[in-house]
Amino acid sequence: MASANGIELNQVTVSFGRDRPVFADLDLTIEPGEFVAIVGASGCGKTTLMNVVAGLVPLDAGTAAVGGSPPSAGRPDIAYILARDALLPWRTVQSNVEYALGLSGVPRRERPGRAQSYLEKVGLGHAVGLLPAALSHGMRQRVALARAFAVERSIYLLDEPFSALDAQTKLVLQNHLLNLWEENRKTVVFVTHDIGEAVVLADRVIVMAANGGGIVEEVPVRIARPRSSEELQESPEFHEIYRAAWHALRRGMGA
């Protein structure tokens, strides 16, 4: 039973009022402090699953417990990083992070220091005064990471945050994420359609099937931490798990 900062889904069904559910009778347990990646074809229900955990989508059947209580939107213990960074274009990088801190109830005088320190952790110490329009895509996503980790939640949901980035930038961002996570290892659910990314980051890769099949396989990733995304690219261990996850995904897609 996952209580504290774990996630427990029991026989969950979501159908959005249609005949064919997005997924049915889905079971998923995520331990506190675990880093889980979810992979699956586009449209298989990854975002819907995240929305269930974030309390944005009502269940048609089953039960969900997040940190021991039912999901609800805007809970102060969950951070949800969307695919689009949603930075406010009228605020500087620093001020965007302070905005989230303010919404989370962090006292005013603590905000600047905390924002600055998290921006430095993602290598943006030099860019605090810039407006989002002046940033590259990768930099914007780094601000979004800093913003999410600065509010210091206990459960992190990330929905394809790096999917629009080029391969090189992606590796850099993965390292920033790993470093932020290593600091106090909060529970993370990371959705991606990139198997390599899933294996680099996660303790466990969960494979969802296309066409409402739900979760079909789990691939444990027993690679020592702390990890470096660049170094892993050349490790045989990484490629072995990558292959296993890839075959699982193929089976899930009915190939």
Ligand X SMILES: Nc1ncnc2c1ncn2[C@@H]1O[C@H](COP(=O)(O)OP(=O)(O)O)[C@@H](O)[C@H]1O
The binding site for Mg ion (CB under 5 A) comprises 47
61-66 and 7-14 strand pairing: antiparallel
| Binding status of residue 105 toward other proteins by CB under 8 A | yes
**Distance, CA of 186 to CA of 152 (rounded, Å):** 9
Residue 77 Cβ vs other proteins, minimum distance, rounded to whole Å: 11
Half-sphere exposure for 211 (CA within 13 Å, toward CB): 5
Considering only residues 131 through 160, tell me which ones interact with other proteins, judged by CB under 8 A.
131-133, 137, 140, 151
Name which of 94, 148, 173 is nearest 192 in CA terms.
173
Q: Which of 15, 48, 104, 179 touches other proteins (CB under 8 A)? A: 104
Nearer to other proteins, 78 or 206 (CB): 78
Q: Which of 99, 138, 204, 247 touches other proteins (CB under 8 A)? A: 99
Q: Which of the ranges 70-78, 173-181, 207-215, 231-239 carries the binding residues for other proteins, by CB under 8 A?
A: 70-78
Residue 215 Cβ vs ligand X, minimum distance, rounded to whole Å: 12
214-220 and 204-209 strand pairing: antiparallel
Burial class, 23, CB count within 10 angstroms (exposed 0-12 / middle 13-18 / buried 19+): buried
**Distance, CA of 154 to CA of 79 (rounded, Å):** 8
Residue 39 Cβ vs other proteins, minimum distance, rounded to whole Å: 23
**Distance, CA of 188 to CA of 36 (rounded, Å):** 6
| Binding status of residue 58 toward other proteins by CB under 8 A | no
Name which of 204, 138, 205 is nearest 177 in CA terms.
138
Nearer to ligand X, 52 or 135 (CB): 52
Q: Which of the ranges 12-20, 96-104, 121-129, 193-201 carries the binding residues for other proteins, by CB under 8 A?
A: 96-104
Angle at CA 243, nearest 5°, toward 239 and 248?
A: 150
Residue 56 Cβ vs ligand X, minimum distance, rounded to whole Å: 9
Residues that bind ligand X (CB under 6 A): 16, 22, 40, 42-48
Q: Which residue is nearest to ligand X (CB)?
A: 47
| Binding status of residue 67 toward other proteins by CB under 8 A | no
Sign of CA dihedral 18, 24, 30, 36: negative
Residues of this chain that bind other proteins (CB under 8 A): 54, 73-74, 76, 78-80, 82, 84-91, 99-100, 103-105, 131-133, 137, 140, 151
